[in-house]
C-alpha cells in the first residue's frame, strides 16, 4: 500500500529517461557556438555487467556534465567500449562462443544498464574499439606512425607460455608460471613491434609540470616511471686478450666522482661480453643460464642474493695505470638499463657493497661526510650522501657534484680507440612500448612479410585488415597463426606470395586515442583535425588510479605522435584528471574460510549466518568489491529496488570521491529516505505556494538559498561532491523550517525550491525533473540554466563573533558587519562573561580579527 505522496522512483525515472531520449537532449553538435566542455569517464571493458565502481565513476562524470551544461557550456559527454582483449578469448575457449558475439552481447547488456542510470550521454557517438570502423582507423594511424619512424621492429625478451603458446605480460606471470596454464614461463627472444615512446621521454617528463589539474600523485608516478637520470657513459679499456677481451667495456654511471673507489666491473647475463666469454667458459655459461631462469617477480628479486662469476677479463683504471679491475658477470645488472654494465664502487653503493663483501673485493671509501676525517670507512652500510672526496688524487677535497664534473671534463676530451672515452648522457628507465600480442581478439597489425621485399606495409587503400570470423579456439595459441588462408597474401609490393603479420596490437593502443575519435566518430580518416582541435583537451577525465601510468602515459604519447603525423597540434589529451576511489563492502567467510556471496548472508540475532546452511560466518575485512571475495552488490538490484537516483546519491554522499567508499545497506536506505523526504518536502512546499500568503520579507530563506547555490557550485567545480550533498541536506532542513514559519512568503519558497531542484538535478536528475514539473516549471530542468546568485544576498549586515579569553571561547557578540575594531573591543570588554575572567584587571591585549573572532588576553 502506497500513500499518494510516495515517490515511485522506478516508474518515474523510466518516464523521464524516455522524455530525454525523445527530446534528444544530450546530443552535442560540433558547430555549437557556446564554449566547449569535454567531460569523459574512462570507458568500460564490456565484461558483461556493470559493477558499483562503474556506477560511482559515471555518476561523478555525469554530475560534472550536467552541471557544466547548466552553466552554459556545450558539453561533450560520450561513451564507448574498450572491447578487445583476453577475456573474450577466454570465454571463447571455455564456453565455445565467438569473441565477437560474446563481446557485442555484453555491450548490449551493459548499455542497457548504463542507460538505467540516467546518464546524460551523447549515445550517438558510441563505438566499440572492436568495431571494424574503429580498428581500421587505428591501422591507418599505425601506418602513419610507421612512415614517420615512430614504429620499430626489434627483438626483445618476452615471457612465453609454452602451453598456451602466447606471450604473457609481466602481471600474468605468477611465481614464474603462466597465470592460466600454470606452465613454467620461458624467456624468449621474439621479434616485436614497438612504438617509439622513448623519443618523447624528455617531453613527456617536462610537460608534466603543466598538468596542474592532475593529482600530484599521478604526476609523480609518471615522473618516476620515466625515470630520468643524468650521468656519464664511460669506456674502460680491456687489458687482457682472449675471447671477449678486445676493445673496451662501456658502462653508464651517475657517480663518476667515485671512480677511485671502483674495485670491479659487472655486466648483465645478457651482455655481449658475457656471451662471448661463455662460449669458452662452461662455468660462466652455466651461471648465465641460472640468471635467466631466475624469476622477475618482486618477491624473488627482494630475497635474491647478489651473485656473480669472474670472466677472467680485466680493465684498466682510467686514472691509475697501476690498477686493473676484474670483470664479473652479475645477476643484479639489468641488460636493458644503461649499457648493461657498471663499474662497482662498494663503499658508495649498497648493492656493490653486498657484492664486494661476498667476493672479498676491496672496499675503498672515496667520499666522506663533511665532519669525518680521512680515516673514514664504511662497514655494513654504503655511504651515499654528498660529502668531501678523498683517496682520489686530483679529485681530493671536491664536493660530489664538482668531482662528477671534473671526471666528465677529463674523460670527454680524452681519446680511447678513436673516440672520446666518456660522454655525458641522460638515461631513462622508460622503454619503448612493445605492442605485439600473439592473440586473436585485437587490432591486426597491418603489415606483410615478404621474402623478397621484407616488411611491407599494407597500403591504406587496402584497409581494413579484417579479423577472420572463422576461427577456432579448441587448441592453444594464436588462431590467426593457424588459420588456413588468412595470413596467405600477395606482397603488396612485388606480388609474390607473402605472409600477413599475425600479431595484433596491445589493447592499450585502442584506448590511447578513443577520446580523440569521439570528437568526430564518423570522420573518414582516423582523426578530424578541426574537431580534435575544437574539443581537446578533455577538460575533466575521471577514472581509476590503476591507470595512472600505462593508459595515461600512452595517451600522452599518442597525442604527440598523432601531432607528428599531421593530425593537429601537439597537445596534452587530458587537462584535468581525477582518480576516484574504489567501492568496498564487508566480506564474509564461512567456517571453512570460503568466501560467501552477499545474497547468502543474513543477520540473525546480531550474528551473521549463512542463509542456506545456517552456519556461522565471520565478518571479513572491508575490501574492494570483487568476484573472488564475492562481496559485490549488483547495481541492477539497487536501481530496480530504489531507483537510479538513490544509487547516484549514495555514491556522492559522505565519502570524498578520491577515497574508497564503503557500500552499506544502511547507507543505501538513508539515500533512499532522502529521495522520499525531499519529494515530500517539495510537495508540501508546492502546496504552500499554491495557498499563497506569508507576511514576512523572506530574507532569511532567500539568504540561505543564494548562499547554498554558491556553495554547491563551488563544491561541484572542485569535485567535492560529498560536501555538495551535505549542503543539500542542510538546505532541505532549512527549507522545512521556513515552511513551518507562517510568515515565509510564497515567493521566497518558490525561489528556494526552484534553486534547490536545479542544484540537485546533476546528482538526482530524475527526481529533479519530477519536482521541477511539480512546482510548475516548464521544460526540462536538465536543460535549464544554473540559478543566478544574487551577490547582495551573500553579505550579512550583522555578524556574530566568537569571543575568546586567553584562546578559550567564553561568549559571543553580535555587531554590525562594518563595525570599527575599537567599538567591538569596547563592547567585548563590557561583556559580563569577559569581565568575569578579567577579575577587574585591564586586559593585556585585545585582538580583533574583523569578521572572524575576538580574543582577549588577560
Partner RNA sequence: GCGAGAGUGGCGGAAUUGGUAGACGCAGACGACUCAAAAUCGUCCGCCGAAAGGCUUGGGGGUUCGAGUCCCCCCUCUCGCACCA
Site residues for RNA, 668-727, by CB under 7 A, read: 669-670, 673-674, 676-677, 680, 720, 722-723, 725-726
| Among 99, 214, 202, 185, residue whose Cα is nearest residue 478 | 99
**Pick from 132, 133, 475, 730: which binds RNA (CB under 7 A)?**
730
Quick one: 167 or 463, whose CB is closer to RNA?
A: 167
Report which of 460, 458, 462, 432 is spatially closest to residue 445, judged by C-alpha positions: 458
Whole-number Cα distances in Å, 390 to 256, 373, 396, 405: 14, 9, 5, 16
| Pairing mode of beta strands 415-416, 419-420 | antiparallel
Question: Which region, judged by CB under 7 A, interacts with RNA, from 118-126, 404-412, 802-810, 824-832?
Answer: 802-810
Nearest distance from residue 208's CB to RNA, in Å?
Answer: 14
Among 22, 31, 246, 302, binds RNA (CB under 7 A): 302
**587 near RNA, rule: CB under 7 A:** no
- Long-range Cβ pairs for the range 666-669 (8 Å, 24+): 668/638, 668/642
Residue from 416, 549, 700, 747 in contact with RNA (CB under 7 A): 549
**Smallest distance, Å, CB 507 to RNA?**
18
Smallest distance from the beta carbon of 667 to RNA, in angstroms?
Answer: 6
Q: Which of 15, 570, 604, 809 binds RNA (CB under 7 A)?
A: 809
Of the candidates 379, 311, 303, the residue with the CA atom closest to the CA atom of residue 341: 311
Determine phi and psi for 601, rounding to 5 degrees. Answer: -105, 125
Output the smallest distance, CB 204 to RNA, in A.
16
Q: Binding of RNA at residue 331 (CB under 7 A)?
A: yes
Among the listed residues 807, 832, 840, 841, the single contact to RNA using CB under 7 A = 807
User: Smallest distance from the beta carbon of 53 to RNA, in angstroms?
Assistant: 15
Nearer to RNA, 690 or 714 (CB): 714
Site string for RNA, 507-546 (x = CB under 7 A): --------------------------------------x-
Closer CB to RNA, 15 or 659, in the complex: 659
Which of helix, strand or coil describes residue 28?
coil
| Burial environment of residue 259 by CB neighbours within 10 A (0 to 12, 13 to 18, 19 or more) | buried
696 near 740, Cβ under 8 Å? no
How close are the terminal C-alpha atoms of the chain, in Å?
66
From the list 61-69, 220-228, 387-395, 788-796, the region that binds RNA by CB under 7 A is: 220-228
* Minimal distance, residue 233 CB to RNA, in Å: 10
Residue 358 sits in the site that holds RNA (CB under 7 A):
no
- Residue 212 C-beta: closest distance to RNA, Å: 15
User: What 3-state class would DSSP assign to 313?
Assistant: strand
332 is an interface residue for RNA by CB under 7 A: yes
Nearer to RNA, 592 or 845 (CB): 845
Binding to RNA (CB under 7 A): which residues in 432-461? none
Is the preceding omega at residue 9 within 30 degrees of 0, hence cis?
A: no
399 within 8 A of 389, measured Cβ to Cβ? yes
- Region 95-114 residues binding RNA, contact defined as CB under 7 A: none
Task: Out of 61, 231, 576, 698, name the contact with RNA by CB under 7 A.
Answer: 231
Single out the residue of 22, 31, 209, 216 in contact with RNA (rule: CB under 7 A): 216
- CA-to-CA distance for 571 and 819, rounded, in angstroms? 52
E-assigned strand segments in 291-399: 308-317, 320-330, 341-344, 367-368, 388-389
Q: What is the DSSP letter of 43?
A: P
Q: Which of 736, 774, 777, 843 is the binder for RNA (CB under 7 A)?
A: 736
Q: Which of 10, 48, 176, 227 is the binder for RNA (CB under 7 A)?
A: 227
**Smaller CB separation from RNA, 561 or 834:** 834
Nearer to RNA, 100 or 670 (CB): 670
The strands making up 308-317's β-sheet, listed across from edge to edge, are 308-317, 320-330, 264-267, 341-344
Q: Which stretch binds RNA (CB under 7 A): 17-25, 247-255, 443-451, 528-536?
A: 247-255
Task: Name the residue with cell 587530458.
Answer: 574
Least distance (Å) between residue 257 CB and RNA: 10
Query: Residue 6 CB, nearest distance to RNA (Å)?
Result: 8
Residue placing its CB nearer to RNA in the complex, 104 or 200:
200
Q: Does 386 engage in binding with RNA (CB under 7 A)?
A: no
Helix (H), strand (E) counts: the chain: 26, 36
Q: How far is the CB of 448 from RNA (least distance, A)?
A: 35
Shortest distance, position 244 Cβ to RNA, whole Å: 18
Q: Measured from the CB of residue 215, what is the shortest distance to RNA in angstroms? A: 9
| Nearest residue (CB) to RNA, 394 versus 729 | 729
The pairs formed by 804-812 with CB atoms below 8 angstroms and a separation of 24 or more are 804/853, 804/854, 804/855, 804/856, 805/834, 805/837, 805/838, 805/855, 805/856, 805/858, 806/837, 806/855, 806/856, 806/857, 806/858, 807/855, 810/834, 810/836, 810/837
- Please say which residue, 330 or 598, places its beta carbon nearer to RNA: 330
Nearer to RNA, 17 or 255 (CB): 255
Residue 333 and residue 273 in contact, taking contact as beta carbons nearer than 8 Å: no
The answer to whether the peptide bond before residue 629 is cis (omega within 30 degrees of 0) is: no
Q: Is 802 in the site for RNA (CB under 7 A)?
A: yes
Residue 193 is placed in which grid cell? 613491434
CB of 681 to RNA, least distance (A): 8
CB of 412 to RNA, least distance (A): 17
β 173-174/419-420 pair status? unpaired
Q: Report in angstroms how near the CB of residue 318 gets to RNA at its nearest.
A: 15
In the bound state with RNA, the residue whose beta carbon lies nearer, of 153 and 673, is: 673
Q: Which of 96, 641, 733, 814 binds RNA (CB under 7 A)?
A: 733
Dist. CA 447–CA 465, nearest whole Å:
9
Binding-site size, RNA (CB under 7 A):
78
| Distance of alpha carbon 589 from alpha carbon 621, whole angstroms | 10
Per-residue contact string for residues 642-661; x = within reach of RNA by CB under 7 A: -----------xxxx--xxx
Other beta carbons within 10 angstroms of residue 806's beta carbon come to 12
Among 19, 23, 279, 304, binds RNA (CB under 7 A): 304
- Provide φ and ψ at 81, rounded to 5°: -135, 125
| 419-420/177-178 β-pairing | unpaired
> Among residue numbers 154 through 213, which ones bind RNA (CB under 7 A)?
none
From the CB of 621, what's the least distance to RNA, in Å? 9
For the segment 394-433, give every residue that binds RNA (CB under 7 A): 427, 429
User: Taking Cα atoms as reference points, which of 282, 255, 274, 414 lies closest to residue 331?
Assistant: 274
Instruction: Say if residues 421 and 250 touch (Cβ distance below 8 Å).
Output: no
Q: Which one among 52, 276, 325, 342 touches RNA, defined by CB under 7 A?
A: 342
Ranges within 814-853 binding RNA (CB under 7 A):
845, 847, 849, 852-853
Task: Report H helices in 212-264.
Answer: 216-226
Considering the complex, state which of residue 526 and residue 657 has its C-beta at the smaller distance from RNA.
657
Binding mask 256-275 toward RNA (x if CB under 7 A, else -) reads ------------x-------
Contact between 798 and RNA by CB under 7 A: the answer reads no
Please report how close the Cβ of residue 123 comes to RNA at its closest, in angstroms. 33
Q: Beta strand 488-490 with 497-500: parallel, antiparallel or unpaired?
A: antiparallel
Amino acid at each position: 500500500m502506497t500513500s499518494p505522496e510516495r515517490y515511485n522512483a522506478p516508474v518515474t525515472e523510466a518516464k523521464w529517461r524516455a522524455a530525454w531520449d525523445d527530446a534528444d537532449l544530450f546530443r552535442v553538435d560540433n558547430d555549437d557556438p557556446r564554449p566547449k566542455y569535454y567531460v569523459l569517464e574512462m570507458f568500460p571493458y564490456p565484461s558483461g555487467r556493470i559493477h558499483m565502481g562503474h556506477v560511482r565513476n559515471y555518476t561523478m562524470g555525469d554530475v560534472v556534465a550536467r552541471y557544466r551544461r547548466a552553466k552554459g557550456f556545450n558539453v561533450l559527454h560520450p561513451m564507448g567500449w574498450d572491447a578487445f582483449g583476453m577475456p573474450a578469448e577466454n570465454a571463447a575457449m571455455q564456453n565455445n562462443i565467438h569473441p565477437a558475439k560474446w563481446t557485442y552481447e555484453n555491450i548490449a547488456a551493459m548499455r542497457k544498464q548504463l542507460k538505467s542510470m540516467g546518464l546524460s550521454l551523447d549515445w550517438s557517438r558510441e563505438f566499440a574499439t572492436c568495431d571494424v570502423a574503429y580498428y581500421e582507423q587505428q591501422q591507418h594511424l599505425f601506418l602513419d606512425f610507421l612512415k614517420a619512424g615512430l614504429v620499430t621492429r626489434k627483438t626483445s625478451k618476452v615471457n612465453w607460455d609454452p602451453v598456451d603458446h602466447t606471450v604473457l605480460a609481466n602481471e600474468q606471470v605468477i611465481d614464474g608460471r603462466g597465470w592460466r596454464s600454470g606452465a613454467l614461463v620461458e624467456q624468449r627472444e621474439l621479434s616485436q613491434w614497438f612504438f617509439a615512446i622513448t623519443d618523447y621521454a624528455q617531453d613527456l617528463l617536462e610537460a608534466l609540470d603543466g598538468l596542474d589539474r592532475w593529482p600530484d600523485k599521478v604526476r609523480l608516478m609518471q615522473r618516476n616511471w620515466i625515470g630520468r637520470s643524468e650521468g656519464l657513459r664511460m669506456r674502460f679499456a680491456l687489458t687482457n686478450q682472449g675471447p671477449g677481451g678486445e676493445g673496451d667495456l662501456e658502462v653508464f654511471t651517475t657517480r663518476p666522482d667515485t671512480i677511485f673507489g671502483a674495485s670491479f666491473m659487472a655486466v648483465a647475463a645478457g651482455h655481449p661480453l658475457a656471451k662471448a666469454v661463455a662460449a669458452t667458459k662452461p662455468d660462466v655459461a652455466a651461471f648465465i643460464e641460472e640468471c635467466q631462469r631466475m624469476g622477475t617477480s618482486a618477491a624473488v628479486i627482494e630475497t635474491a642474493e647478489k651473485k656473480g662469476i669472474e670472466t677472467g677479463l680485466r680493465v684498466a683504471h682510467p686514472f691509475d695505470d697501476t690498477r686493473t679491475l676484474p670483470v664479473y658477470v652479475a645477476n643484479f645488472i639489468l641488460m636493458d638499463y644503461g649499457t648493461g654494465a657498471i663499474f662497482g664502487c662498494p663503499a658508495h653503493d649498497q648493492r656493490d657493497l653486498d657484492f664486494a663483501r661476498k667476493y672479498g673485493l676491496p672496499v675503498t671509501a672515496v667520499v666522506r661526510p663533511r665532519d669525518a676525517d680521512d680515516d673514514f670507512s664504511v662497514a655494513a652500510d654504503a655511504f651515499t650522501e654528498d660529502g668531501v672526496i678523498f683517496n682520489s688524487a686530483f679529485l681530493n677535497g671536491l664536493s660530489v657534484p664538482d668531482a662528477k664534473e671534473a671526471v666528465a671534463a677529463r674523460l670527454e676530451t680524452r681519446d680511447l680507440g678513436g673516440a672520446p672515452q666518456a660522454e655525458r648522457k641522460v638515461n631513462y628507465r622508460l622503454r619503448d612500448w612493445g605492442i605485439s600480442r600473439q592473440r586473436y581478439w585485437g587490432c591486426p597489425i597491418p603489415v606483410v612479410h615478404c621474402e623478397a621485399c621484407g616488411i611491407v606495409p599494407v597500403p591504406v587503400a587496402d584497409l581494413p585488415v579484417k579479423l577472420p570470423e572463422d576461427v577456432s579456439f579448441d587448441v592453444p595459441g594464436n588462431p590467426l597463426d593457424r588459420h588456413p588462408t588468412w595470413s596467405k597474401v600477395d606482397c603488396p609490393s612485388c606480388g609474390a606470395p607473402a605472409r600477413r603479420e599475425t600479431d595484433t596490437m596491445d589493447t592499450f593502443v585502442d584506448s590511447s586515442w578513443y577520446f580523440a575519435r569521439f570528437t568526430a566518430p564518423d570522420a573518414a580518416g582516423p582523426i578530424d583535425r578541426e574537431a580534435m582541435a575544437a574539443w581537446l583537451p578533455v577538460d575533466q577525465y575521471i577514472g581509476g588510479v590503476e591507470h595512472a601510468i600505462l593508459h595515461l602515459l600512452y595517451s600522452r604519447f599518442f597525442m604527440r605522435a598523432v601531432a607528428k603525423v599531421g593530425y593537429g597540434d601537439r597537445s596534452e589529451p587530458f587537462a584535468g584528471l581525477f582518480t576516484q576511489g574504489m567501492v568496498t563492502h564487508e566480506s564474509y567467510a564461512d567456517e571453512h574460510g570460503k568466501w560467501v556471496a552477499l545474497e547468502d548472508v543474513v543477520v540473525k540475532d546480531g550474528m551473521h549466518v549463512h542463509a542456506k546452511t545456517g552456519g556461522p560466518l565471520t565478518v571479513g575485512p572491508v575490501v574492494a568489491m570483487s568476484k573472488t571475495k564475492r562481496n559485490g552488490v549488483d547495481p541492477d538490484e539497487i536501481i530496480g529496488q530504489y531507483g537510479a537516483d538513490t544509487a547516484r546519491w549514495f555514491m556522492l554522499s559522505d565519502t570524498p570521491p578520491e577515497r574508497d567508499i564503503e557500500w552499506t545497506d544502511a547507507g543505501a536506505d538513508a539515500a533512499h529516505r532522502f529521495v522520499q523526504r525531499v519529494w515530500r518536502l517539495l510537495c508540501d512546499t508546492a502546496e504552500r505556494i499554491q495557498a499563497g500568503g506569508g507576511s514576512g520579507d523572506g530574507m532569511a530563506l532567500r539568504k540561505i538559498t543564494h548562499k547554498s547555490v554558491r556553495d554547491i557550485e563551488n563544491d561541484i567545480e572542485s569535485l567535492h561532491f560529498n560536501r555538495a550533498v551535505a549542503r543539500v541536506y542542510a538546505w532541505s532542513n532549512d527549507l522545512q523550517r521556513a515552511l513551518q514559519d507562517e510568515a515565509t512568503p510564497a515567493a521566497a519558497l518558490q525561489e528556494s525550491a526552484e534553486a534547490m531542484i536545479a542544484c540537485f538535478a546533476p546528482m538526482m536528475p530524475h527526481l529533479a525533473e519530477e519536482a521541477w514539473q511539480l512546482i510548475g516549471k516548464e521544460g526540462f530542468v536538465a536543460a535549464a540554466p544554473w540559478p543566478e546568485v544574487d551577490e547582495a544576498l551573500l553579505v550579512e549586515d550583522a555578524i556574530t563573533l566568537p569571543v575568546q579569553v586567553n584562546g578559550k571561547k567564553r561568549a559571543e557578540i553580535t555587531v554590525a558587519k562594518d563595525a570599527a575594531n575599537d567599538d567591538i573591543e569596547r563592547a567585548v570588554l563590557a561583556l559580563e562573561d569577559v569581565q568575569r575572567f578579567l577579575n577587574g584587571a585591564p586586559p593585556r591585549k585585545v585582538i580583533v580579527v574583523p569578521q572572524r573572532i575576538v580574543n582577549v588576553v588577560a
